[in-house]
Chain A
């Protein structure tokens, strides 16, 4: 066998291997999409693929909403996470910019403190948080448990540190000369930041925003302790109650799972370029 044929065989083999991997990897997702349009009984008895139909998808969708008031949780998640993303993103743009462009006394300390918060086990701050919230309510009557801002405040602080580092990476790559030129032309510090640096950092801002949104959309532990009523509970809690309430309706549970995944998928596909670029830029440069 000569060199060329050997190379060709290798190429084909590696592609076959890749596509086998693709099939295995997407199988659970295909399964999720498939069985959300099947019946509960057929999922239990292993004949789910024989009962999938468009009619079933619609029926399951309507029943899911009727049985669990699903869109209430969806709305709560959307409100909490949109506000969280907006605030956390603003904070990380400011701090990331400051860290990238100024070498001020305490900047190292600030950066390292930010990073070391990542080492804190969530349970260490969750228990005190819960107690502090209860104490505040008892002493000054301000209710924090089971409110939107009682969830938004911890979320903002928890998702900010990582985002600051990602934003810092983006700003560090932007040339400072443009900013200096704007300063010479009479811009104030803030104007130079807002008019010159901010537009240049747009891809990074989008990437960081998606990163915060996706992580917050996935948060379960804090929400399970800091919320108690359907008024503010987010999707992961809602879906959990949902399983308890209508036992063994696998089809409806999977329909809910599908509906929850769709907005994330849309955001991901629409902004994939920025997201992929952002994640790799942040990590590879370390």
Chain B
């Protein structure tokens, strides 16, 4: 033991600062979060939280099964919304990213310009995206005006920010913000596919669709797998766009567009429901862990972790 530490002392020295910061900010608070989920912590016990009464799994029961709890209704609705949101955003960014990467992956004049312009949404901070979206989606906003008055696609303006369309509008703007990264990854992967495969397929008489299905897609599987995992973690915990679109603090998106994070932040910090908030965070983490395991099962063969 002493010998190995000495042998690798340089390596241990290098990771030591990261371990310390990991402990202070991730490990200890996580354990504390677990503890908070087991105590009754609200505005009355908050002042001295170490003395708050221990209630066991009561918070978990409260958020998951208690038929009288409004928090449960709100949270389950938010989980449903977040599930729809995450699935739609991941598939949307994958489809849009792949489509545009394929269009970009040919030689033509202005290719560099097109690529740079398509990457632009990526550099807009997400809270600005939410703010801008809230202007654009308003009833008299530019989106309604373009759709109704200029393109004549709709007979009358839609209410994007209130009612059932709320989630759709958050999904659309989130796809807009996040597709450039997927596009870039796909573009890099496409450039790594040797032309020989396509030429051989052409000689065998394959059409475009067959080439895409049997050559391009299998080659892109590792990137797709990484992007799904990345999207899963990023979008389940999505907060900024929805929060800024609907104004932090006041009401948030309402039941039609409430996501897990907007719901948890409101319950914890505006309504003083720290205990249930902690319990919900733990449940959420287990849920994400489960999803990652499913992901591993599906993509086991296409991912190599050195």
Contact = CB atoms under 8 A, between A and B. Distances in A.
A29 interface: yes
Contacts of A254: 132, 135
A132 B121 contact: no
A14 B103 contact: yes
Task: Name which of B123, B133, B142 has the most chain A CB atoms within 10 A of its CB.
Answer: B123
Contacts, number: 246
A102 B237 contact: no
B185 A280 contact: yes
A29 B128 CA distance: 11
Nearest to B225: A286
B154 interface: no
Interface in B9-42: 10-12, 14-15, 17-19, 21-22, 24-26, 28-30, 32-33, 36
B289 interface: yes
Contacts of B29: 124-125, 128-129, 132
Interface in A96-133: 97-99, 101-102, 104-105, 107, 110, 113-114, 117-129, 131-132
Contacts of A35: 135
Interface string A48-75: 0000000000000000000000000000
B188 to A, nearest CB: 4
Interface range, B side? 35 or more
Interface stretch (B63-71, B84-92, B279-287): B279-287
A280 B32 CA distance: 36
B298 interface: no
A29 B124 contact: yes
Contacts of B278: 124, 127
Contacts of A157: 21-22, 24-26
A121 B226 contact: no
A1 interface: no
Interface in A261-285: 261, 264-265, 268-269, 272, 276, 279-280, 283-284
Contacts of B17: 90-91, 94-95
Contacts of A239: 127-128, 131
Contact of B233 (A44, A94, A118): A118
Contacts of B131: 239, 243, 253, 257
B240 A220 contact: yes
A143 to B, nearest CB: 17
A29 B120 contact: yes
Interface residues of A, number: 90
A43 B118 CA distance: 26
B128 A25 contact: no
A218 B32 contact: no
B305 interface: yes
Given A121-B264, A276-B184, A129 B25 contact: yes
Nearest to A279: B184
B223 interface: yes
A124 B135 contact: no
A236 interface: yes
A203 interface: no
A122 B19 CA distance: 19
B285 A120 contact: yes
A12 B227 CA distance: 30
B117 A220 contact: no
B195 to A, nearest CB: 15
B265 A123 contact: yes
Given A121-B284, A261-B128, A92 B120 contact: no
A160 interface: yes
Task: Name which of B133, B247, B306 has the most chain A CB atoms within 10 A of its CB.
Answer: B306
B196 to A, nearest CB: 19
Contacts of B181: 279
A156 B248 contact: no
Contact of B127 (A102, A156, A218): A218
A159 B5 CA distance: 28
B189 interface: yes
B161 interface: no
A114 B25 CA distance: 12
Given A25-B176, A117-B26, 11 more contacts: A15-B103, A25-B118, A98-B10, A119-B285, A128-B36, A153-B24, A156-B25, A236-B240, A264-B125, A284-B188, A284-B226
Q: Which 5 A-B pairs have the closest CB atoms?
A: A157-B25, A128-B32, A124-B281, A104-B8, A280-B188
27 contacts: A18-B100, A25-B118, A25-B121, A25-B176, A31-B132, A45-B140, A94-B14, A98-B14, A119-B292, A120-B26, A120-B285, A121-B284, A125-B33, A128-B29, A129-B25, A129-B29, A132-B29, A224-B248, A239-B128, A243-B131, A243-B247, A254-B135, A264-B123, A280-B184, A284-B222, A284-B223, A286-B304
